[in-house]
């Protein structure tokens, strides 16, 4: 079986892959995630995931390795067509969470899988709808002071304390955490990478 390389150092993505029994090693892509062209959120996450995967593939191929498969992903929070990235500071986190309070938003993850010795590539975008409950300013500040929102897209983490703010979701829960596990497992199986049930 080919070695799976996760093009990320995200502890959440590592945890999710381990959860489904996939053996892998990590290698961050360290790409510039800023897009110069004006594209929509779906095209953005698709492009970033593909660029992450290609960067890591190039790294290993340039060192004479090719018996591997690369998995890369990029997750964003989108409200009314606007991407909400990681907050710059506590004030920015408050603005984001106030904007999401009581409203629906979307979490989009672009996933790209590449083969090291073939031109085979699969890319998809998984979308989950999330409804945030109505939050008071005091609740938002209490959450911000936990420190949890400051390194999260959209300023919240559903797998942590942020779960208390989510009223309901439509779609894949794991997509909101950072990796749509069912879709990823189907994609990996097409490259010979099996899960614990595989």
Res 66: pLDDT: 85
Q: Is 104 helix (H, G, I), strand (E, B) or coil?
A: strand
Angle at 53 between CA 47 and CA 54, to 5 degrees: 90
pLDDT attached to residue 187: 97
Q: How confident is the model at residue 117, as a pLDDT?
A: 86
**CA 55-21-67 angle, 5° bins:** 40
- The sign of the torsion formed by the CA atoms of 185, 5, 148, 48 equals negative
Are the C-beta atoms of residues 2 and 67 closer than 8 Å to each other?
A: yes
Q: What is the pLDDT of residues 63-101, one digit of tens each?
A: 998 899 999 999 999 999 999 988 999 999 999 999 999
First to last CA, the chain: 13
Q: What are the sequence ranges of the domains in the chain?
A: 3-191
What number is the average pLDDT over the span 55-60?
95
Q: Nearest CA to 158 among 187, 116, 130? A: 130
Beta strand 104-115 with 68-79: parallel, antiparallel or unpaired?
Answer: antiparallel
Considering the domain 3-191 in this protein, what is its CATH number? 3.90.950.10
Q: How confident is the model at residue 37 (pLDDT cuts 50, 70, 90)?
A: low
With cut-offs at 50, 70 and 90, classify the pLDDT of residue 113. very high
Confidence (pTM)? 0.93
Sign of the dihedral through C-alpha 5, 11, 13, 15: positive
- Rounded Cα–Cα distance for residues 100 and 77 (Å): 10
Chain-centre distance for alpha carbon 171: 15
Residue 36: is its pLDDT beyond 80?
Answer: no
pLDDT at 9: 87
Strand partners, 169: 130
- Tens digits of per-residue pLDDT, 134-191? 999 999 999 999 999 999 999 999 999 999 999 999 999 999 999 999 999 999 999 9
Which residues form the catalytic set? 74
């Amino acid at each position: 079986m080919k070695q799976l390389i996760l093009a990320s150092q995200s502890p959440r993505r590592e945890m999710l892959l381990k959860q489904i029994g996939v053996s892998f090693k990590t290698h961050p892509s360290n790409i510039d995630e800023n897009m110069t062209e004006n594209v929509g959120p779906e095209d953005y996450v698709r492009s970033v995931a593909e660029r992450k995967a290609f960067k890591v593939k190039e790294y290993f191929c340039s060192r004479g390795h090719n018996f591997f498969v690369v998995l890369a992903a990029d997750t964003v929070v989108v409200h009314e067509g606007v991407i909400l990235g990681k907050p710059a500071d506590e004030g920015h986190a408050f603005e984001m969470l106030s904007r999401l309070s009581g409203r629906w938003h979307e979490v989009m993850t672009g996933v790209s899988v590449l083969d090291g010795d073939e031109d085979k590539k699969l890319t998809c975008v998984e979308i989950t709808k999330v409804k945030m409950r109505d939050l008071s300013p005091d609740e938002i500040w209490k959450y911000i002071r936990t420190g949890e929102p400051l390194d999260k897209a959209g300023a919240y983490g559903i797998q942590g304390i942020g779960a208390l703010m989510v009223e309901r979701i439509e779609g894949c829960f794991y997509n909101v955490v950072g990796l749509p596990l069912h879709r990823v497992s189907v994609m990996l199986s097409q490259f010979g990478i099996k899960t614990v049930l595989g």
